[in-house]
Amino acid sequence: MQMELRPLTTGGGYEVATCWYCPDGDAVATLILAPAMGVAQEYYKPLVHWLVEQGLRVITFDYHGLGASRQGPLQQCHVNILDWGRYDCAAVINAAYRHDQSHPLIWLGHNLGGQLPGMTPNSHLLDRIITVAAGSGYWREAPPRLKRRVWMLWYLAAPLATNVVGYFPGKRLNMVGDLPAGVMRQWRRWCLHPNYAVGVEGEPIRAGFAAVRCPITAISFEDDELISPKNVERLHLDYRRAPVTLVHLTRKECGGRVGHWGFFHPRQKFRLWRDVLQSELHPQSRRLAAG
């Protein structure tokens, strides 16, 4: 396996840090792995290594202001979630597509990473989308045990801490992670609305989700402590013109606890990665971008 660091300049005029992992032979497909909110690309390395073993070229990246894409103090990072879609994600998709147009281009998104194709202007270049534990963030449809903590986040911690510090100090609060103020304020507005991002942002985002037409497989888990089945269904209804397959796995089917984070643990190499993910990685043919 070969790994190369590649900074990409986005349409927003800043750089996003990407890592390209390539198999020793020819790649059978390219997969872009989009992180969850507040999670650095390093977290996904065990899965990345397994994907490369399957013959895929894998591209990981950090959203602007997070991980290796953080440039200076977060108080000076003026970005929101829509910027991550139209600039960061778009730049990564363009780079992947320019590099190889003869093999499938797959998007694998964890939580927020599964939402962003609907906010990315060039998502039509994707051949397949796989979402993992991705759903609407509407707080009233969160898992019951989470609702009190979510209420505290949206009505107390998020507005107060962000206004005082100039960004959301999630690491100190043990909530999500450190986030730019614009990201946290926008995310809060979405999570307080029954229709999440589409309900707040209106027709432009509704049209963005409708523009996604490639097959989507949504993998979710019975024991996810952060995302409920209702959240998952709500999000994927927004992809109304894409063929969506919901794969909701019980704890028994998974052979034990998975939750929101366990899918990416190395122990899944011989269970979920092999039994659930592998069949999704080899689309039959390259769909024409203009199709």
- Supply the pLDDT for residue 279: 80
Q: 30 forms bridges with which residues in the sheet?
A: 57, 105
Give me 283's structure tokens: 């689309």
Domain 2-135+204-278, classified CATH 3.30.160.270, yes or no: no
pTM above 0.75, yes or no: yes
Give me 291's structure tokens: 């199709």
- Supply the pLDDT for residue 193: 97
- Supply the pLDDT for residue 34: 98
- Supply the pLDDT for residue 282: 66
- Supply the pLDDT for residue 278: 86
Helix (H) or strand (E) holding 169: strand 167-169
Domain boundaries along the sequence of the chain: 2-135+204-278
- Supply the pLDDT for residue 286: 39
Note whether 124 and 213 are within 8 A (CB).
Answer: yes
- Supply the pLDDT for residue 104: 95
- Give 10-residue mean pLDDT values along the chain (291 residues): 94 96 94 97 97 96 97 95 98 97 96 98 97 96 90 95 96 93 98 97 97 97 95 97 96 94 94 89 46 31
Report how far apart, in Å, the C-alpha atoms of 239 and of each of 116, 125, 190, 244 are. Answer: 11, 16, 17, 8
Whole-angstrom Cα distance, residue 101 to residue 93? 11
Helix (H) or strand (E) holding 96: helix 90-99
- Supply the pLDDT for residue 222: 95
Sequence-distant (≥ 6) Cβ neighbours of residue 62 within 8 angstroms: 16, 17, 35, 40, 41, 68, 69, 70
Whole-angstrom Cα distance, residue 86 to residue 75? 21
Q: Tell me if residue 17 falls in helix, strand or coil.
A: strand
Outline where 153-279 has alpha helix (H): 158-165, 170-173, 181-191, 196-201, 203-210, 229-238, 251-254, 272
